[in-house]
Amino acid sequence: MSRIGKSIITVPAGVTITQNEGVVTVKGPKGELSQTLTGGITFEQNGEEITVSRQDESKESKALHGLYRALINNMIVGTTEGWSKKLELVGVGYRASNQGNRLELALGFSHGIVLDLPKEIVVTTETEKGKNPIITLTSHDKQLIGMVAAKIRSFRKPEPYKGKGVRFVGENVRRKAGKSA
């Protein structure tokens, strides 16, 4: 049995979980999320504990067992505490600013990049003299925040020679030696 799939999820106070025709819906103080269960995965709630189980021992249902348990747990954590990701802009002249959910980036191109973010995501930008600008994304949906952070990072990935680009805070960039004279 899957180690992740067989672990029990505890539901904190203030969170309601409902299941209707294979769709699990989680409502909490920060929002509402839903996920469709497929592949013979069943969901049982006993008081404040949730158990995810599978019907057979096929390879597909073994893979989906741990996946759906993790997705349901991420929905519960997101609707109670929320998720956040921080991106750092490393490079001379790289800037970030926002007005509401509109993010404007200057990443060394001839034009600025303007990105309209979904309404579920709250963006803040920090610019301090002598430090790299930092973009903070917060939301209740872990999948959505990961996709948006990956999109922002894809505009200018960190390059291996000088390390310039958009990176996650704390990410290690493998550096290469330059041309030797």
> Tell me, what CATH number does 29's domain have?
3.90.930.12
Let me know if residue 174 belongs to a domain. no
Same domain, 15 and 67: yes
Confidence (pLDDT) at 181:
57
Cα 138 to the center of its chain, rounded Å: 9
173 occurs within a structural domain: no
- Of 57, 80, 103, the last residue of a domain is 80
Domain membership of residue 148 as a residue range: 83-168
For 114-171, give the DSSP string. Answer: EEEPPTT-EEEEE--TTS--EEEEEES-HHHHHHHHHHHHHTSPPPTTT--EEEETTP
Band (pLDDT 50/70/90 cuts) for residue 179 is confident
State pTM to two decimals: 0.89
Token pair listed for 78: 């997101």
Edge-to-edge strands, sheet with 113-116: 95-99, 102-106, 113-116
pLDDT tens column, 115-163 = 999 999 999 999 999 999 999 999 999 999 999 999 999 999 999 999 9
Distance CA 139, CA 146 (A): 10
Q: How many domains does the chain have?
A: 2
CA–CA dist 54, 88 (Å, integer): 41
Shared domain check, 39 and 65: yes
C-beta separation of 120 from 144 below 8 A: yes
- With cut-offs at 50, 70 and 90, classify the pLDDT of residue 172: very high
pLDDT grade for 180, boundaries at 50, 70 and 90: confident
The residue-averaged pLDDT of 67-92 equals 94
Same domain assignment for residues 163 and 94: yes
